[in-house]
Amino acid sequence: MTVEPSEAPHLGEVIVDARGIEKYFGRNHVLKGIDLKVRRRQAVMLIGRSGSGKTTLIRCLNFLEEPTMGSVEIDGLRVEADPLHANTRARREQIRQIRLRTGMLFQEFNLFPHMSVLANCIEAPMRVRGVPEAEAVATAGRLLEKVGLADKRDEYPERLSGGQKQRVAIARAMCMEPKVLMFDEPTSALDPELVGEVLTVMEELAHEGTTMIVVTHEMHFAREAADTVVYMDEGRIIEAGPPEQVLGDPEDERTKTFLHRFLSSFADREHAHDPGT
């Protein structure tokens, strides 16, 4: 199945164009011919059960994993899968250029513990992109204010909550001015009471038109923030469309089964944690 970008009027031209993405780990065929297009200002949510290939897909989009076959184009730069030559100098430069176009947020925060919040945010722009210090500091200050952490710029990561660390990680990624932000289940390592503060920031970014590809199990967030929801199963895209269609009235039986089981499991967890039960 090919995921075509939404034609919503607020969206721009295609900025991510992945074609025929295949990925093997040994004999394990993890991705099976993925085609995905994303427009500027589009928020795409990838959902599906664990092991369906969601994380592998976004890691292939910025070549943290080398695809076995296929190609990825981001903001006009197309890179073909080439596992046999992944370590040549020319190939490393191609991948570096692709990664400069993307910002990646992981389950873990990966902040430098010996650096302040501000230093974490300005390190890459200055060292990788050659941004002058004054400009990097000004940009970091603006983005820390956007994620609600302007007053924490001089703190060190050990003094922050998990939710605050993840919000710093979002600001740090945005300081590189990526063309697209990619999130790999950014709230899965957080305590439940901290999830909301991160999702609120992400939802605001989506509504402001930040181009995003998000692996998530947060269905309410997907419903509120997504332009397109993509359901994956066994390495394939099974269904894709607006959240009201995929989450509210899915067409494929596999999507229906996943959502029913997921929502039933969520209801059971909520019941177990309800102090009134």
Q: What is the mean pLDDT of the chain?
A: 91
Q: Which of 178, 210, 243 is the last residue of a domain?
A: 178
Please indicate, yes or no, if residue 45 is contained in any of the structural domains.
Answer: yes
pLDDT tens sequence across 3-38 = 765 666 678 899 999 999 999 999 999 999 999 999
Whole-number pLDDT of residue 5: 59
What lies within 8 Å, CB to CB, of 106 at 6+ separation is 169, 184, 186
Same domain for 184 and 211, yes or no, is yes
Whole-number pLDDT of residue 69: 97
For 41: left if phi > 0, alpha if psi spans -120 to 50, otherwise beta; the answer is left
For residue 201, what is the domain's CATH number? 3.40.50.300
Q: Are 113 and 73 in contact (CB under 8 A)?
A: no
Please indicate, yes or no, if residue 131 is contained in any of the structural domains.
Answer: yes
DSSP 251: -
Q: CB 106: neighbour CB atoms within 10 A?
A: 18
pLDDT tens sequence across 143-192 = 999 999 999 999 999 999 999 999 999 999 999 999 999 999 999 989 99
Q: Which of 178, 201, 224 is the last residue of a domain?
A: 178
Look up the domain containing 57 and give its range. 1-6+22-34+41-101+180-277
Same domain for 81 and 184, yes or no, is yes
Same domain for 52 and 69, yes or no, is yes
Q: What percent of the chain shows pLDDT beyond 90?
A: 82
For residues 34 and 58, give the distance between their C-alpha atoms in angstroms, rounded to a whole number: 11
pLDDT tens sequence across 34-60 = 999 999 999 999 999 999 999 999 999
Please indicate, yes or no, if residue 13 is contained in any of the structural domains.
Answer: no
Same domain for 74 and 202, yes or no, is yes
Q: Which amino acid is at 253?
A: E
Same domain for 187 and 68, yes or no, is yes
Same domain for 126 and 138, yes or no, is yes
Please indicate, yes or no, if residue 218 is contained in any of the structural domains.
Answer: yes
Instruction: State the distance between the two ends of the chain, measured CA to CA, in whole angstroms.
Output: 44
For residues 46 and 196, give the distance between their C-alpha atoms in angstroms, rounded to a whole number: 19
Domain count, the chain: 2
Tell which residue, 272, 252, 207, has the closest CA to residue 10. Answer: 207
Same domain for 184 and 265, yes or no, is yes
Q: Which of 157, 178, 199 is the last residue of a domain?
A: 178
Listed in sequence order, the DSSP H helices in the chain are 54-61, 89-100, 117-128, 133-146, 162-174, 192-207, 219-225, 243-246, 253-273
